[in-house]
Structure 1
Amino acid sequence: MELLLETVALFCMKLAYETEDSSPILRDDLLMSDYEREVFGLLVRRGDVEGIQFRVAHCVGLALEAIGGGDTPLGRELHRLFADFSDARTMDQLEAPAITLKDYLKNIQ
């Protein structure tokens, strides 16, 4: 689960900050320090669904802004997928929407 959440954050950061003329954003970039696998791992071990959702919400917000907001077709779909993720109340309920969110973010890179 930690790797999945880190990947969602990474794809969001790529959308928000990566440009064609710059080096790609990688997992070990300073930008990812609050969203690295160990941070999510701690939240997962604690079962802190709200903490995970808070961190992912920040990343998704950056990505949403980068793609033109929630009024664009890409933005509406991202918002809908994040709503599914934020509706989860248990760790088990987070996995499927996190996978869908990751796949969508990967596809719109």
Structure 2
Amino acid sequence: MELHLETVALFSLKLAYEAEGSSPILRDDLVMGDYQRDVFELLVRRGDVEGIQVKVDECMGLALEALGGVDKPLGRELKRLIDEFESIQTIDQMNTPLIAIKDYLKTVL
């Protein structure tokens, strides 16, 4: 799950900050500091659903803005996926909506 969380963060930051013709954002870039796999691993180990949701929400806000917000079709779909992720109550429920967000961001990129 930590890999999926890190990938969602990476894709979101790429969408928000990566400009055509510039260096790509990679997992070891400074912008990924608070969203690396070991950060998510600690949150998962603690069972900190709220902490994970806060981290993902930070990235999703950037991605949503990059897609033009909820007024645009891509933004509306991402918001729907975000809402589903935010409604989960336990770590065990996270995987399916997280993978859906990851796959969506991958397609959009």
Compute the TM-score of the two structures, normalised by the length of structure 2: 0.99
Supply the distance in 2 between the matched residues of 1:6 and 1:37 (Cα, whole angstroms).
5
Offset from partner CA, 1:41-67 (integer Å, 9 cap, x none): 000000000000000000000011111
Supply the distance in 1 between the matched residues of 2:70 and 2:36 (Cα, whole angstroms).
26
**3-state DSSP of counterpart to 1:106:** helix
Matches within 5 A, 1:79-90: 79-90=79-90
Shift in Å at residue 21 of structure 1?
1.3
Shift in Å at residue 4 of structure 1?
0.5
How many residue pairs align between the two structures? 109
Supply the distance in 1 between the matched residues of 2:41 and 2:17 (Cα, whole angstroms).
24
Partner of 1:97: 97
Supply the distance in 2 between the matched residues of 1:35 and 1:103 (Cα, whole angstroms).
18
Compute the TM-score of the two structures, normalised by the length of structure 1: 0.99
Q: CA RMSD in A?
A: 0.4
**3-state DSSP of counterpart to 1:20:** coil
